[in-house]
Amino acid sequence: MKTRHVFWGLFFISLGLLVLLNNLDVINWDWYGLWKLWPIVFVIWGISILIKNNIARSILAGIIAVLLALAIFTSVKSCFGIFSDHINFSTGDNFGIIFNGDYDTTSYQIAYDKGITNAELNFKAGAGYFKTNDSTSQLFSAEVIGRKKNYSLNNSFVDGKSVVNLDMNKKEFLFIHGKNRNKVKFQFNETPVWDMNYNIGAASIDFDLHNYKIENLYFKMGAASMKLWLGSKTEKSNVNIDADVSSIHIYIPDSSGCEISTDETLSTKHFEDFDKINSGIYRTENFDEAKNKIYIKMDIGISSVTVKKY
């Protein structure tokens, strides 16, 4: 194997693993002094030039690749810590850095009335982590971890439907110890039939909606990592996903019929127990006889999509 192949292969593997482990909170070390050791890369690089043995040079190239990836990662991590533990990067028209951000946990709630049979949620936010939690006796509840009181909540009745709007005021990246801390945990009442619309930036989404009556579900987002569980509480559920580069996993009930409509240019797709009907159209084997049906439409860029039963 050529030395340059060893170098670039191990470099990208090491850098990718460091970022991944950091995102998963597996590594929480103090990086502030470690990045200063980066010149050792040049020392080992110089030694590799002096050595003529190809195997030894490949080993040294691998060591250099790992150290360089570590140096780049620790430098970026240290940059966040040099200024402050709390930094907000604004993504609005006036880009800026806000020191000692007003970081807190804020709760938003809408009371439930027994007369409410249908409900709609419209949620707008920047990049962040979004999750559904347990159901609630309220109509709607959200716990926001991030900039204090940075959302506007209002509720209205339209044609007999309760419409909930939760909008992010300042669409910022809030970093604490170098990690994004814009998190929202949702809770919904299980009684009404729900329409849900999410307009968000780059997102990590973990939504378990199998206990809710979902009639229409819409996601418009940037780069995304999504896990979505759907249920069979309504006879027909419409799911629309509009995203850029994405990794999407959707889980559907075994008893439900499902039709997927998507672009054939998907990078990777795995549709478990689906038959291809036409170009870009896939259906489960039980689609025609199933009482409950789920229709999934996807307009996404470079992506990996998995749809399977549970």
Residues 110 and 255 in one domain: yes
Residues 140 and 287 in one domain: yes
DSSP string, 101-135: --EEEEEEEE---TT--EEEEEEE--SEEEEE-S-
Q: Is residue 58 part of a domain?
A: yes
Q: pLDDT over 70 for what percent of the chain?
A: 76
Q: Is residue 92 part of a domain?
A: no
Q: Is residue 89 part of a domain?
A: no
Residues 76 and 159 in one domain: no
Residues 75 and 126 in one domain: no
91 pLDDT band, cuts 50/70/90, is very low
| Burial letters 229-245, b for 16+ CB under 10 A, else e | bbbbbbeebbbbbebee
Residues 201 and 258 in one domain: yes
C-alpha span between 250 and 240 (Å, rounded): 12
**Mean per-residue pLDDT, 258-265:** 85
**Mean per-residue pLDDT, 76-96:** 43
Q: Which domain holds residue 219?
A: 99-309
- For 256, the token pair is 């439900």
195 or 72: whose pLDDT is higher? Answer: 195
* pLDDT of residue 89 exceeding 90: no
Residues 133 and 271 in one domain: yes
Phi first, then psi, for residue 117 (nearest 5°) are: -105, -25
216 or 77: whose pLDDT is higher? Answer: 216
pLDDT for 176 equals 45
Residues 187 and 285 in one domain: yes
Phi first, then psi, for residue 42 (nearest 5°) are: -70, -35
Sorted by sequence, the CB contacts under 8 Å of residue 177 that are 6+ apart come out as: 28, 80, 81, 85
pLDDT digits (tens, 9 = 90+) for 130-176: 999 789 999 999 999 887 788 999 999 988 899 999 999 875 544 44
Residues 200 and 104 in one domain: yes
Residues 123 and 23 in one domain: no
Strand partners, 260: 282, 296
Sorted by sequence, the CB contacts under 8 Å of residue 26 that are 6+ apart come out as: none
Q: Computed from CA positions of residues 147, 148, 150, 151, in that sequence, does the dihedral angle turn out positive or negative?
A: positive
Q: Is residue 93 part of a domain?
A: no
Residues 136 and 22 in one domain: no
Domain count along the chain: 2
Residues 79 and 127 in one domain: no
